[in-house]
Structure 1
Amino acid sequence: MAAPAEVAADPTALDLTDPQTFLDHDARRMWRSYREHHPVYWHPGSGGLPGFWVLSRYEDIVAAYRDNKRYTSERGNVLTTLLQGEDSAAGKMLAVTDGPRHREIRNLMMKSFSPRVLKPVVDNVRARTRRLVRQAVERGTVDFATEVADQIPIHTIGDLMGIPAADREQVVDWNAQTLSRYSSEDSELESVMARNEIVFYISQLLAERRADPGEDVLSTLATATVDGEPLTDEEIILQSYSLILGGDESSRATAAWAVLAFSDYPEQWRKLKSGEVARETAAEEILRWTTPTMHFGRHALEDVPLRGHTIREGEIITMWNISANFDEEVFTDPYTFDLARTPNKHVSFGHGPHFCLGAYLGRVHMLAMLEALCSMVADIELAGEPRRLFSNFGHGHSSMPVRLAPEPNAP
């Protein structure tokens, strides 16, 4: 897309706690206005909830991600929990645990995410992606979000955790309702209930693994020790919940955004198909362009001076990846979708000590999708109006109707 027009919504008039804001305003135009006029902005509280700081510059966001001395994740890391003042999973779930305990649990889980251990999972990702894309091409017109993108990452997580194939569709539906609701008609109560369903389901799986361990991640957690002590059931359930939440949401959002971008920018699609740009380089640009997770956040542990402001101890900061990835001070022509872009220091997987554990798998998903599309699809065009998720966290689609023209020389 071209650079945003000069006229944009006044950042001081926007409510970033309301998912509708992100449907009503063009994200790139909106965030450029923050970066230029309010790079460190105090968002007032409302409805009895506290205010919070909004960071929109790449430099400030990366610095905050790195700084685990002055900021903590242990009182929440997304607006939903940050505004409540606490996170019940703090100190137990990796994403909201800091310090030595975070390093110990992360090192344990990293053993299950090494390329060597993941090879059979990766092979399944490639085979499953090819099968789904082939079926989509045979149908011609499909909802790429629900019929393709939704189907791949949850099966990967299912393979990792040993979730029975028959249960995976239900897990996808629960997950979609947790942080990224389909529309404003889906209530917060429904989100909480869906979260509880996932937790209860994992607890049942855990009981089975404790009785009969296998070779999946859940079994690894069930039989592992940290500092000579086994993980509690609650810790294991929360790590598993985090895997489902992060792995499913991000990868499916990126896949759907990719086909939309190829439809919008056919010259880039042709360069990818012809081999003019490497798939690995293209994958990084798609991750930047998509930014599937719009923000994360922290609480300040002490007063922090920043660009003429003072973030007070106990106050909330939010780091907006969706702004950082289009910062003109870091990315040349950031509003140009350029599959050959290099370097590409996007923060779509976060940064610092909490850098996404599943980044390798996320890239595997994207590369498998690009490989399948390039070999089997000649052209991509929209077949209807895409429908965005109702969320201020997940940047994805609940519907993406596309028409896929078959590649005549497809293998």
Structure 2
Amino acid sequence: MSGEAILPPDVAREVIDPHAYAEWNGLLDTFDRLRQESPVALVKPEDGELFDPFWLVTRYDDVMRLSKDNKTFLNNPRPVVFSFRQAIEFSRQATGSDMLVDSLVVFDAPIHPKYRRLTQDWFMPRNLAKMEAEIRNIAEATVDRLVAAGSEADFVKLVSGPYPLHVVMQILGVPEEDEPRMQMLTQQLFGGQDADLSGTGMENMSPEQVVQLVAGAVKTFEGYFAELAAQRRANPTDDVASVIANATVDGEPLPERDMAGYYIIVATAGHDTTSASTAGAMMALAQDPEQWARVRADRSLLPGIVEEAIRWTTPVQHFMRTAAEDVEVGGQQVKKGDWLMLNYVSANHDPSQFDDPRRFDAARSPNRHLAFGAGAHQCLGLHLARMEMKILFETLLDRIETIELAGEPKRATSTFVGGLKTLPVRFKAA
């Protein structure tokens, strides 16, 4: 790698430290400085640090450009999420791939568009409209539980966690009794850096043990979905599990590993990210009782609240890309084979694109955030996420007269998928 801008070791550590992402405002301060001083900078390991160098990309325009240019900036062959060398080596030994899960997220053309088309129509608004009544029933049952809790509750535990989980499992075809298992495995996969979420005492684990824990979650997922796929091949239904189980590409069924990866990405990314955005929206509204009252009176404000919550929260905090050729990015000379981090947290808080970006502004327009990515790899479930959040908040606004914080919210310790892990609220039912 070559380049003039190299991050100081303390800043480089902060960018890859999951604890930094739990201390949100301090991290945003760091990104504010980097966008001004070193918008594209090399992160190099110090002695003893077991990761490969990569370019950190922090400005909105650069992240948007790289997200859309899938020919120059590839998902393969390096991991698409920041990984330490021992994780890559473990994955290579266990699966033959640098990534534990091969899914839509990791493929490039020509495979990616063929795989994406298998379920893309299912997740378009016209088809999702058929699900609206069922999703509304799930929202009603979720708010029933909140109201039954009395006047105080942890919104994440009672509402924003279980609601999108139940929705996506219904869509996928997973029985309700298996949902707690899916939640636990997702948290081990995405929230593995947070001891509270993974429930494994990970602060006492070596890096190798952490990798093995994540690999164990992947293996359990694969076994579960292999059984589900066999059931859906024998008895197809109208759920997404049946679509994947019976799909063919170029006249051939999906390879077992690719099929497992397809199930895993729908099952995990389909709820954990929406949970984070939903909790972010509620935190913003609970901090601003006047805004809650306004949107209760004027529901036309709701789509703006949903979109702003997704930007403001940025659940998927980064993805990695690999340069397919020598290229200039933000004034730096990136070489073929170099690894780059597209930092969506920084991009979504870039004041050149978003006026006063740390302020939650439901009327923000335009709001061309990057929380769903952009280009060929834009989130497959973005229409579902918006629909889920809108329906839930319509239900909450009908049933909850006032709401406020009842304690200090806490963010997850995670460099990849992040958001609130606790949100204590005090409320009055309507």
1:56 corresponds to which residue?
58
C-alpha distance in 2, partners of 1:65/1:226? 25
Say which SS state the counterpart of residue 267 (structure 2) adopts. Answer: helix
Distance, in Å, in 2 between the alignment partners of 1:263 and 1:356 is: 28
State the partner residue of 2:316.
Answer: 293
- Residues 277 and 339, structure 1, Cα contact 8 Å, conserved in 2: no
Asked if the contact 2:57–2:341 (Cα under 8 Å) also holds between the matched residues in 1, the reply is yes
The structure-2 alpha-carbon separation of the partners of 1:143 and 1:214, relative to structure 1 and needing over 3 Å to count, comes to same
Shift of the 276–116 alpha-carbon distance from structure 1 to 2, 3 Å rule, reads: closer
Structure 1 residue 162: Cα displacement: 1.0
Q: Secondary structure at the match of 2:14?
A: coil
Aligned equivalent of 1:121, options 126, 131, 137 = 131
Summarize the Cα distance change of 1:174–1:305 in structure 2 as closer, same or farther, 3 Å threshold: same
How much does 1:233 deviate? 2.2
TM-score of the superposed pair, with normalisation by structure 2: 0.87
Partner residue of 1:183 out of 179, 195, 198: 195
1:108-257 matches, cutoff 5 A: 108-139=118-149, 140-181=151-192, 182-183=194-195, 185-186=201-202, 187=205, 188=210, 189-257=212-280
Task: Check the 8 A contact 1:136/1:404 in 2, yes or no.
Answer: no
Measured against aligned partners, the alpha-carbon deviations of 1:280-314 in whole angstroms (never above 9, x if no partner) come to 12211111111111111111111111232111111
| Counterpart code for 2:377 | H
Per-residue deviation at 1:14?
Answer: 3.6
Does the 8 Å contact 1:300/1:316 carry over to 2? yes
Residue in 1 aligned with 2:393?
Answer: 370
1:84 matched to 2:91? The reply is no
CA distance in 2, matches of 1:73, 1:90: 14
Q: Which residue of 1 aligns with 2:33?
A: 33
Instruction: Work out whether residues 384 and 402 of structure 1, in 8 Å CA contact, stay in contact via their aligned partners in 2.
Output: yes
Deviates more, 1:79-88 or 1:54-63: 79-88
Residue 389 in structure 1 maps to residue 399 in structure 2: no
Mean CA deviation greater in 320-329 or 126-135: 126-135
Deviations 1:95-115 (A, max 9, x none): 111112111111111122123
* Range moving further from structure 2, 248-257 or 45-54: 45-54
Deviation at 1:242, TM superposition (A): 0.6
- Residue from 293, 303, 307 that aligns with 1:280: 303
The 8 Å contact of residues 304 and 363 in structure 2, kept in 1 or not, is answered as: yes
Of 16-25 and 145-154, deviating more is 16-25
CA deviations 1:10-37 (Å, max 9, x no partner) are: 9735432221122345232222122112
CA distance in 1, matches of 2:99, 2:414: 21
| Residue range with higher mean Cα deviation, 356-365 or 397-406 | 397-406
Q: Which letter does structure 2 place at the counterpart of 1:341?
A: R
Partners of 2:24 and 2:177 lie apart in 1 by: 39
**Counterpart in 1 of 2:3?**
none
Question: Cα distance, 1:122 vs. partner?
Answer: 3.0
Structure 1 residue runs without a partner (length 5+): 1-8
Give the match for residue 15 of structure 1: 14
Distance, in Å, in 2 between the alignment partners of 1:276 and 1:151 is 24
Q: Residue deviations 1:156-202, cap 9 Å, x none? A: 22112210111011111110111223328425133332222222211
Q: Which runs of 5+ in 2 are unaligned?
A: 1-7
Q: In 1, are the aligned partners of 2:316 and 2:418 still within 8 Å (CA)? A: yes
Matching residue of 1:4: none
Decide whether aligned partners of structure 1 residues 13 and 89 sit closer, same or farther in structure 2, where only a CA change above 3 A counts.
Answer: closer
Partner of 1:6: none
Q: Secondary structure at the match of 1:395?
A: coil
Task: Label 1:381 to 1:389 Cα distance change in 2 as closer, same or farther (>3 A).
Answer: same
Q: Distance in 2 between matches of 1:166 and 1:90?
A: 27
1:403 aligns with 2:426: yes
User: Shift of residue 80 of structure 1?
Assistant: 2.9
